[in-house]
Amino acid sequence: MPRARTASAVAVLALAAGLGACTAEPPPPPAAEGPAAPAPPDPRPSAAPLLRDVLGAMNEAGTAESTFQGRLGLVGELDGEGSVDYRQPEPEVSFTGTTQPAPGYPAEPVEVVLADGVGHLKSPLLMPEPDKPWIVVPEDGPEFTAQLFGPALRQLTDTVDPRSTFGGIEDVTKIAASQPAEVDGRPATRYDLAVLTAPAAEAATDPRQKEQFRRAADEGTPELNYQLWVGQDGLPLRFSTVQDVDQTGQVSLTTTYDDWGSEVAIEPPPPERIGEFRDLPPLAAPPR
């Protein structure tokens, strides 16, 4: 075959191939991806049976003596002891100890009474009137004392009362770990507990608790962690938490319990000893 004809034939074949490619059915689109696989089930055991037993034992015992140690946000380092009365929905607390606003500053005495749903605070840092050393701390509201001290006192209440933390969300709390332990020589089991924040926000009935878990979930914190030491009688011996709290800052408190069922009487300070918070005092210069 002459060279020109051969070239023409090749060109025709190439053109035919090209036309065939243009007229052929396009390849089918890739198959659409199916729904995402569900998350694997959480293998950790539920804390619900444990928590229901512990909270029930607390309600039955009714009262306890306790010590507090840790940091309460803006209030500073906290160290002291007191009594707790659980015989009502909101615990009543009487606390005496010291607070240190920042390292290098002297520790100052502080007293707290939570009774009849009202918080009272006594500290020389408040520069009170000589004969009226106590101030009332509203739980909520626009008052400066409520904004400054309210979250700290609420967190103190939650820390001394595991019922405030776990009540209503037992079914969405997991046991991350457990091990034998001792608390001041008393045999105990330490439980590391994980509250699943997104389910807890749905399950919680307390609005403040619901908001706490919702905010944590929205900020990408899937769990909030707590440590609970339980004695052989099923009662708490120690409870520990570390949280970031609005207006208060980081709260890391450990409460140790003793003398469950002891005689406890918590009274608010007399009205004539209650003054008004006038201004936020400046911190004294730390010692050199």
- State both tokens at 113: 């009474």
Q: What is the pLDDT of residues 263-285, one digit of tens each?
A: 999 999 999 999 887 655 554 44
pLDDT band at 251; cut points 50, 70, 90: confident
Domain count, the chain: 1
Q: Which of 9-23, 150-164, 247-261 has the lowest mean pLDDT?
A: 9-23
Residue 240 placed within a domain: yes
248 CB contacts (<8 Å, ≥6 apart)? 72, 73, 74, 75, 151, 152, 155
pLDDT at 147: 58
Residue 27 placed within a domain: no
pLDDT at 259: 96
CB 89 within 8 A of CB 244: no
Which residue, among 213, 167, 206, 201, has the nearest Cα to 52 in the 3D structure? 167
The DSSP call for residue 131 is T
Residue 244 placed within a domain: yes
Give ∠ CA 133-137-142 in degrees, rounded to 5. Answer: 130
CB 86 within 8 A of CB 59: yes
- The full length of the chain comes to 288
* DSSP helix/strand/coil, 134: strand
Taking 70 as the threshold, does the pLDDT of residue 191 lie above it? yes
CB 82 within 8 A of CB 96: yes
Q: Select the more confidently predicted residue: 28 or 251.
A: 251
pLDDT band at 5; cut points 50, 70, 90: very low
Taking 60 as the threshold, does the pLDDT of residue 245 lie above it? no
Q: DSSP per residue over 160-181, as a string?
A: H-HHHHHTT-GGGEEEEEEEEE
**Residue 64 region by backbone torsions, left for phi larger than 0, else alpha for psi between -120 and 50, else beta:** beta
Residue 21 placed within a domain: no
Residue 23 placed within a domain: no
Distance set, CA 36 to CA 39, 170, 222 (Å): 9, 28, 19
Torsion angles phi and psi, residue 76, rounded to 5:
100, -160
pLDDT at 248: 52
When pLDDT is averaged across residues 90-115 and rounded to a whole number, the result is 89
Torsion angles phi and psi, residue 272, rounded to 5:
-70, -10
> How far is residue 80's CA from residue 259's CA, in Å, rounded to a whole number?
16
Distance set, CA 271 to CA 112, 135, 274 (Å): 15, 10, 5
When pLDDT is averaged across residues 214-226 and rounded to a whole number, the result is 94
For strand 63-72 and strand 134-137, is the pairing parallel, antiparallel, or unpaired? unpaired
Give the helix ranges, DSSP H, for the chain. Answer: 3-23, 48-61, 144-160, 162-166, 197-203, 207-218
pLDDT at 280: 54
Q: Which residue has the tokens 């507090």?
A: 68
Give the helix ranges, DSSP H, for 75-223. Answer: 144-160, 162-166, 197-203, 207-218
Residue 5 placed within a domain: no
* Residue-number span of the structural domain to which 187 is assigned: 48-275
Residue 163 placed within a domain: yes
pLDDT at 7: 37
Q: What is the pLDDT of residues 15-55, one digit of tens each?
A: 333 333 444 455 566 555 555 556 678 899 999 999 999 99
> How far is residue 125's CA from residue 127's CA, in Å, rounded to a whole number?
5
Count of beta carbons in the 10 Å neighbourhood of residue 94: 20
pLDDT at 17: 36
Give me the CATH number covering residue 197. 2.50.20.20
Residue 157 placed within a domain: yes
Q: What is the mean pLDDT of the chain?
A: 81
Q: At residue 88, what is the residue type? A: Q
